[in-house]
Amino acid sequence: MGKQQQGFTLVELIVVIVILGILAATALPRFINVTTEARSAAVDGVAGALRSAVGLVQAKYQAAGGTGVSVTMADASTVTVVAGIPAGTAAGIGAALGSTEGITIDYTAPAAVTFRPSGGGATCQAVYNGTTGVVTTDKSGC
């Protein structure tokens, strides 16, 4: 009887390493740009949260009779409203949104409050219009 082989030859190991290297070289470019996609997804998430917050405040405002300058939410937070829409301030849309960890918010223009994810540029943002309640996104700089 002949001697049984107990391992891989050097040629077999080199072929496997070369194949793995080729696979890694073709797959790597697909994963390089995930930061842009993550920021874009963060902007979409913030925009969705803003739209939900506006809808909830409007529903609470109408359920309370459609009068007043503030709405008390279920968690006892008070949201400042203008004609049933959260105001473009920290006491308005900021209170309606709640936690904004990892998001930079600029309340200097109540008609265009900007919400930017960490690391995003000036054109990677969700914008809340405090006079109409409309939320738009700009993901060109993500």
pLDDT of 5: 66
71-123 pLDDT, tens digit each = 998 888 999 999 999 999 999 999 998 877 888 899 999 899 999 988 778 88
Q: Token pair of 41, please? A: 């997804």
43-77 pLDDT, tens digit each = 999 999 999 999 999 999 999 888 889 999 888 89
Q: How far apart are CA 93 and CA 54, in angstroms?
A: 8
pLDDT of 101: 84
Closest listed residue to residue 91, CA positions, set 105, 80, 106, 99:
80
Question: How far apart, in Å, are the Cα atoms of 128 and each of 14, 56, 69, 85, 110?
Answer: 57, 15, 19, 11, 8
121-133 pLDDT, tens digit each = 888 999 999 999 9
The edge-to-edge listing of strands for the beta sheet with 125-128 is 103-106, 113-117, 125-128, 135-138
